[in-house]
């Protein structure tokens, strides 16, 4: 699944094509499907390597 905001958010043709009225605002579009290929698992970096907590 992919959570997308733009370019659909401000596209009146997209809103019309999916059956929304003129006064409806799109907050997000969830794209659901299957990938053509599954990427290899690169593993996860521990959060401690990404952030630094500062305590005073």
Tens-place pLDDT, residues 32-49:
998 899 889 989 999 989
* Whether the predicted pLDDT of 6 surpasses 80: no
pLDDT-derived band at 14 (thresholds 50, 70, 90) equals confident
Domain annotation covers residue 46: no
Residue numbers of the domain that contains 20: 1-34
Token code pair at residue 37: 């290929």
* pTM, 2 dp: 0.47
Domain annotation covers residue 52: no
| For range 17-41, the mean pLDDT | 87
Count the domains in the chain: 1
Bridge partners of 4, per DSSP, are 29
Averaged pLDDT score across all residues of the chain: 86
Domain annotation covers residue 45: no
Domain annotation covers residue 50: no
In 3D, which of 3, 8, 33 has the Cα closest to residue 18?
8
Domain annotation covers residue 27: yes
């Amino acid at each position: 699944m992919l959570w997308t905001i733009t370019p659909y958010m401000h596209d009146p043709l997209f809103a019309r094509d999916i059956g929304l009225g003129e006064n409806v605002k799109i907050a997000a579009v969830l794209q659901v499907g299957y990938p053509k290929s599954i990427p290899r698992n690169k593993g996860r970096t521990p959060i401690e390597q990404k952030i630094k907590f500062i305590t005073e």
